[in-house]
């Protein structure tokens, strides 16, 4: 799949009908006119990038309690609509790149970035194509709900291995507890300086699952 990179930065009103706020990030509900307009005019995402997933709330909650340093380079894997990356750009002035294999998610990411007045780099790529050098150029890698197919557990484990080799300092991933994720996380705990944490949030949306946090000393 061809790669695409771009950058967006615009401004929108911060309060209107069918918007909500989670961890300081403005999100648009399915009934919002801009979401409805996108669904009519743009290609539909085909790799589960069709809504905000609960693990993103767990990830933002953890980041709020364990914030990255200011102006870090952060990569959001399987970014979908990009709310966790937007959270980092908005609150920690991070230089964020969202990567996803499905280019159809990026109109939604741009819309959310627009409403939050932040800039997000975009990259279309499969996980297998992200090299150790590229991954290592980021201080922190974040991801939520990316092990939704059985084979992705091994794919993500190999990606983590490349990121550690490349020099990424911290990796934080959230998941509701799918077997591919838990198996992958247990392998990481055995091999790296990693924690596998039970995690849950109750607001603004209830989400329960696990976090994998790896510190690359």
**pTM for the full model?**
0.87
Encode pLDDT of 67-105 as tens digits.
999 999 999 999 998 999 999 999 999 999 999 999 999
The answer to whether residue 62 is domain-embedded is yes
Token duo for residue 103: 């280019």
Domain membership of residue 5 (yes or no) is no
Separation CA 145–CA 114 (nearest Å)? 23
CATH of the domain at 180: 3.40.50.150
Q: What is the pLDDT of residues 96-137, one digit of tens each?
A: 999 999 999 999 999 999 999 999 999 999 999 999 999 999
Determine which helix (DSSP H) or strand (DSSP E) holds 106, and give its type and residue range.
helix 106-116
| Any domain includes 19 | yes
Is 104 part of a structural domain of the chain? yes
Match 């039970």 to its residue by tokens: 198
Given CA atoms 152, 155, 157, 162 in this order, what sign does their dihedral have?
negative
Secondary structure element (H or E) that encloses residue 144, with its range: strand 140-144
> In this structure, is residue 1 part of a structural domain?
no
Neighbours of 191 (CB within 10 A): 13
What pLDDT, on a 0 to 100 scale, did the predictor assign at position 25? 95
Closest by alpha carbon to 100, among 54, 53, 68, 57? 53
**Domain membership flag for residue 31:** yes
The 10s digit of each residue's pLDDT in 45-56 is 545 445 677 899
How many structural domains comprise the chain?
Answer: 1
């Amino acid at each position: 799949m061809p790669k695409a990179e771009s950058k967006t930065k615009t401004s929108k009103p911060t309060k209107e009908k069918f918007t909500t706020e989670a961890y300081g990030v403005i999100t648009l509900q399915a009934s919002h006119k801009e979401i409805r307009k996108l669904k009519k005019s743009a290609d539909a995402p085909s790799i589960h990038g069709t809504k905000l997933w609960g693990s993103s709330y767990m990830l933002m909650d953890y980041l709020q309690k364990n914030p990255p340093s200011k102006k870090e380079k952060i990569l959001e894997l399987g970014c979908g609509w990009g709310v966790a990356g937007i959270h980092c750009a908005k609150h920690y002035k991070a230089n964020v790149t969202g990567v996803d294999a499905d280019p159809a998610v990026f109109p939604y990411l741009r819309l959310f970035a627009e409403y939050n007045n932040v800039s997000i780099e975009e990259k279309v790529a499969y996980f297998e194509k992200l090299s150790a050098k590229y991954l290592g150029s980021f201080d922190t890698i974040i991801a939520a709900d990316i092990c939704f197919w059985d084979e992705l557990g091994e794919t993500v484990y190999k990606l983590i291995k490349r990121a550690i080799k490349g020099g990424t300092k911290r990796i934080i991933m959230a998941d509701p507890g799918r077997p591919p994720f838990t198996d992958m996380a247990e392998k990481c705990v055995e091999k790296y300086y990693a924690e596998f944490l039970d995690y849950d949030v109750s607001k603004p949306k209830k989400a329960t699952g696990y976090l994998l946090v790896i510190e690359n000393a």
